[in-house]
């Protein structure tokens, strides 16, 4: 039996059914609403529903994640450490001041005080005062007195720059007691007759960037000035003005430019001037294991130009444990009334001022092994007009055995080394050795210049930093001098052993003791002027 309609025909028929439908015609009527519909709900009983949670699934699931293993090669570049102008960190709860006062033998008076404070993050202020005097009775008028006071401060502005400045004054008394070793001198001498006083007023100030600048450029402008006079009407003024700029590249390479003008005026029965001008550009390249500085110093004196290298290369062979360096540098070193009398207080009051022209070639090694820090260097210096010191043959005042300066061309071979050992917590040992080999041109010897020097010491801090123990050793060869016959001779050798200790009984109060020259070595550092024998100081300490 065949179906009534096939599937295809049925689909076609259903598709045309809508077109066959039609609507009937309804009569039109008007409907009038007589009453609004109001729906009302019948009363219903409330059914309380109490839903229940399904029973928890107590089965424990365990998921295992399998991730592919992959090495991550992360490059940690070494930190770039470089200097730039910045504010000082706050010191926290620290001591701002310390005072030491005491006396000793023979006839010694000592006082030392300093105070430093940081006002929030805006100003740094410091004050210091020091006095030390002694009189030794074994040799007539063998005495000294040194007094120094100063203050300094720095103010940091919100704009990123800072201004600093300082004032200082020193009064140092020396006595020409060398007549005691002159057998031809028999007169009586009062202390005032052989007293020399150097009075020096100092002032300095400058501007620098107190914070890192946007352009990575550091700047500094600084002036140092001094006004020196002695007891014999000699006067000297010095003005040293520096302009320094440093531009950093890639956070580690630097371009430095230094412009310096150094003026010296000396007045006595005649006037002297010693003026130097310097321009020093240099570029420093910092690599992964090396540093190279390439620069030049252009110096001008009396309208004559001189050119000196300013080169230094450093290679890290074993990181910080071993590094080798080599370099060359040169400059003019001034011999002023201030520098000469600081080195030798028994100088005459009318020395000739000159520049010492220095060329220095050097190389060495240095490193830090954790508990040991060391350095060693060998070098060669070529000097023109190196200052040497000889005793005046015919002094204007018989009791004033003073030195005059003479100049010579001298070559110097130098070997030096230093070491610092930190064996235990609080125990520190250090030592320095220096050897100079002089070759003079006109003079027989390098008069009164030491050739071999050793100094070392040990310091131990214990009892929670309440007790500090110190010991020091100083050794130096006998310096050459020109005797009465004009021949070269040598003075005796220095050997000095000193011991010291300081103990704080409380947080703020303590005591100190220092004994110097235990061997009672009375070596003549300067001809006719033996050093002081055994001497000691003791007193109290206060910190706040």
Q: Tokens 């690599």, residue? A: 287
Give the pLDDT confidence of 465-494 residue by residue, as tens digits. Answer: 999 999 999 999 999 999 988 999 999 999
Are the CB atoms for 82 and 284 separated by under 8 Å? no
Per-residue HEC secondary structure of 503-533 comes to EECCCCEEEEEEEECCCCCCCEEECCEECCC
Q: Is the bond preceding 106 in cis, omega lying within 30 degrees of 0?
A: yes
Are the CB atoms for 263 and 323 separated by under 8 Å? no
DSSP H or E run through 11: helix 7-20
Structure token digits, residue 100 = 């030491």
Give the integer Cα–Cα distance in Å for 248 and 170: 39
User: What pLDDT does 394 receive?
Assistant: 85
Q: Which CATH superfamily is domain 97-543 in?
A: TonB-dependent receptor, beta-barrel domain (2.40.170.20)
Give the integer Cα–Cα distance in Å for 90 and 198: 38
Closest to 280 (Cα-Cα) out of 302, 258, 300:
258
Give the integer Cα–Cα distance in Å for 531 and 474: 13
The torsion angles phi and psi of 319, rounded to 5 degrees, stand at 60, -135
Angle, vertex CA 215, rays to CA 212 and CA 218, nearest 5: 50
Give the integer Cα–Cα distance in Å for 222 and 240: 8
Sign, CA torsion 338/339/343/346: negative
**309 beta partners:** 296
User: What pLDDT does 31 receive?
Assistant: 40
Give the integer Cα–Cα distance in Å for 500 and 516: 8
User: What pLDDT does 34 receive?
Assistant: 38
The strand ranges marked E within 7-47 are: none
> Could you count the other beta carbons within 10 Å of the beta carbon of residue 525?
17
Domain positions in the chain are 97-543
User: What pLDDT does 145 receive?
Assistant: 98
Give the integer Cα–Cα distance in Å for 176 and 192: 10
pTM: 0.82
User: What pLDDT does 120 receive?
Assistant: 82
Total residue count of the chain as it appears in this document: 544
Give the pLDDT confidence of 331-368 residue by residue, as tens digits. Answer: 999 999 999 999 999 999 999 999 999 999 999 999 99
User: What pLDDT does 297 receive?
Assistant: 99
> For the chain, which residues score pLDDT lower than 70?
1-93
Give the integer Cα–Cα distance in Å for 7 and 458: 115
DSSP H or E run through 127: strand 123-136
**Beta-strand pair 509-516/480-482:** unpaired
User: What pLDDT does 94 receive?
Assistant: 77
Structure token digits, residue 517 = 């020259």
Could you tell me the CA-to-CA distances from 500 to 422, 459, 463, 512 in Å, in that order?
19, 9, 16, 7
Give the pLDDT confidence of 531-541 residue by residue, as tens digits. Answer: 999 999 999 99
Closest to 391 (Cα-Cα) out of 524, 485, 483:
483
**Beta-strand pair 235-249/427-440:** unpaired
User: What pLDDT does 93 receive?
Assistant: 53
């Amino acid at each position: 039996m065949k179906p009534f309609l096939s599937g295809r025909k049925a689909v076609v028929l259903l598709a045309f059914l809508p077109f066959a439908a039609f609507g009937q015609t309804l009569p039109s009527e008007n409907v009038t609403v007589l009453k609004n519909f109001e729906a009302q709900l019948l009363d219903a009983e409330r059914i309380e529903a109490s839903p229940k949670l399904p029973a928890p699934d107590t089965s424990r699931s365990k998921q295992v994640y399998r991730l592919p293993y992959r090495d991550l090669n992360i490059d940690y570049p070494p930190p770039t450490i470089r200097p730039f102008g910045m504010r000082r960190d706050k010191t926290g709860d620290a001591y701002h001041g310390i005072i030491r006062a005491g006396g000793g033998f023979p006839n010694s008076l000592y006082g030392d005080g300093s105070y430093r404070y940081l006002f929030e993050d805006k100003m740094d202020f410091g004050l210091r005062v020091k006095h030390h005097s002694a009189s030794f009775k074994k040799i007539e008028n063998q005495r000294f007195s040194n007094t120094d006071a100063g203050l300094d401060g720095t103010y940091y502005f919100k704009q990123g720059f800072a201004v600093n400045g300082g004032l200082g004054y020193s009064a140092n008394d020396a006595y020409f007691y060398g007549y005691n070793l002159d057998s031809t001198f028999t007169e009586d001498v009062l202390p005032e007759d052989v007293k020399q006083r150097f009075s020096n007023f100092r002032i300095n100030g400058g501007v620098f960037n107190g914070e890192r600048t946007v352009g990575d450029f550091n700047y500094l402008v600084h002036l140092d000035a001094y006004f020196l006079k002695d007891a014999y009407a000699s006067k000297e003024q010095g003005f040293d003005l520096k302009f320094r700029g440093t531009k950093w590249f890639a956070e580690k390479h630097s371009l430095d430019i230094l412009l310096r003008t150094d003026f010296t005026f000396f007045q006595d029965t005649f006037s002297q001037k010693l003026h130097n001008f310097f321009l020093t550009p240099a570029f420093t390249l910092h690599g992964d294991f090396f540093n190279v500085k390439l620069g030049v110093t252009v110096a001008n004196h009396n309208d004559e130009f001189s050119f000196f290298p300013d080169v230094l290369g450093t290679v890290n062979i074993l990181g910080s444990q071993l590094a080798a360096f080599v370099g060359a540098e040169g400059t003019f070193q001034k011999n002023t009334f201030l520098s000469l009398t600081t080195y030798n207080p028994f100088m005459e009051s009318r020395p000739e001022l000159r520049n010492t022209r220095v060329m220095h070639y050097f190389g060495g090694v240095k490193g830090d092994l954790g508990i040991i820090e060391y350095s060693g260097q060998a070098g060669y210096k070529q000097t023109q007009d190196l200052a040497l010191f000889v005793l005046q043959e015919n002094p204007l005042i018989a009791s004033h055995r003073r030195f005059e300066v003479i100049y010579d061309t001298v070559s110097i071979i130098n070997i030096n080394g230093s070491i610092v050992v930190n064996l235990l917590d609080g125990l520190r040992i250090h030592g320095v050795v220096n050897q100079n080999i002089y070759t003079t041109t006109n003079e027989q010897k390098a008069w009164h210049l030491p050739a071999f020097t050793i100094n070392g010491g040990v310091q131990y801090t214990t009892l929670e930093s309440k007790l500090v123990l110190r010991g020091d050793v100083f050794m130096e060869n006998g310096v050459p001098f020109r005797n009465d016959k004009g021949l070269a001779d040598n003075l005796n050798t220095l050997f000095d052993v000193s011991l010291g200790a300081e103990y704080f009984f409380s947080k703020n109060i303590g005591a100190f003791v220092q004994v110097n020259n235990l061997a009672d070595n009375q070596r003549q550092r300067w001809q006719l002027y033996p050093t002081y024998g055994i001497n000691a100081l003791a007193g109290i300490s206060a910190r706040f």
